[in-house]
Structure 1
Amino acid sequence: MLRSFDLVLIGVMTAAAVVTYTIKHHADDKLQEVRRLETEIRLERDTIDLLKADWALLTQPNRLDRLIDVYQSELQLVPTAPTQLAMPMELPMPRSQLPMPETTIEDLIASAGGDVAAAIKGVDEARNAAPVSDIPVPLPRGGYPVDVISTGSVNR
């Protein structure tokens, strides 16, 4: 008579066989997919090589000279003149080499008018008149004092 332990072992063996078959089946599917991808890669590489060969053939100078002679009346091509090429001196100057302006923003504000200059002078005086404390202020997470975050400038 079969004992219950024997039935459990038969069930475990059957489950192991099913799992083994499933893993083998998935491995075979993956192997076929890898082979298909390798074939596609090989085809793409061959296509790239063929296109490079076509490009080399199409851009041969002798062939282009013959095409210029045949289609000269339609295209009206002329050789490039040396004056059509830009010299390095003609290129724009990098920002780092641009000359600095002779007037500063403070000079422009002072010459703009009395109201603007007076308002700015009043703000500067109010900042200078504010009491300065010797108590250290802890910095927030960013490492900058709070007035840097809110106004964009440091007052000390």
Structure 2
Amino acid sequence: MLRSFDLVLIGVMTAAAVATYTIKHRADDKLQEVRRLEAEIRLEKDTIDLLRADWALLTQPNRLERLIAAYQSELQLVPTQPTQLAMPVELPMPRSQLPMPETTIEELIASAGGEVAAALKGVDAAKNAKPPVAAIPVPIPRGAASVDIISTGSVNR
């Protein structure tokens, strides 16, 4: 009664069900692994926060001063001298000993052309110029015979 085509379809359905179950099982395993890794990451972050808090507590200046005072005879600590960090010959030369350039910036600009110097002078003039005073419009009353507007914006009748 069953045709061969029906048997093939039953076989394909069974194979598809097995493949679907296998994929679902692998996805569940991966999800469980992701959750485990997230829990480990959360634990590590909490541990880092705890260690930072411990470090901040251990390096408080008040605590270190008390420890230095308590163990001064054993440790024989002394303040750090500036020469312990770097010798004076290892430091770069002072600004006063730097070689001076032969020409100044102003001379370079002037030699570049008059347009550059004129443009820079125009910029300097614009910086030093006072902003213009804006005139304030004053409403003129109806029926007024004459109204004089003074530069301060006041009205005389």
Aligned to 1:49: 49
**CA–CA separation in structure 2 for the residues paired with 1:72 and 1:9:** 89
Task: Identify unmatched segments of 5+ residues in structure 2.
Answer: 93-157
Aligned to 2:19: 19
Q: SS at the partner of 1:17?
A: helix
Alpha-carbon offset, residue 86 of structure 1: 1.1
The CA RMSD measured in Å over matched residues stands at 1.7
**CA–CA separation in structure 1 for the residues paired with 2:70 and 2:25:** 63
Rg (Cα) greater in structure: 2
TM-score by length of 2: 0.55
**CA–CA separation in structure 2 for the residues paired with 1:47 and 1:6:** 61
Aligned to 2:90: 90
Task: Identify unmatched segments of 5+ residues in structure 1.
Answer: 93-156
Alpha-carbon offset, residue 80 of structure 1: 1.3
Is 1:2–2:2 an aligned residue pair? yes
Ranges of 4+ aligned residues in structure 1 off by more than 6 Å: none
Cα offsets for 1:106-129 (capped at 9, x unmatched): xxxxxxxxxxxxxxxxxxxxxxxx
Q: Which protein, 1 or 2, shows the higher relative CO under an 8 Å CA cutoff with sep ≥ 6?
A: 2
Cα offsets for 1:2-39 (capped at 9, x unmatched): 00000000000000000000000000000000000000
Residues 1-156 of structure 1 mapped to structure 2, 5 A cutoff: 1-87=1-87, 89-90=89-90
Count of aligned residue pairs for this structure pair: 92
- CA spacing shift, 1:18–1:78, aligned 2, 3 Å: same
Which structure is higher in helix share? Answer: 1
Equivalent position amino acid for 1:30 in 2: K
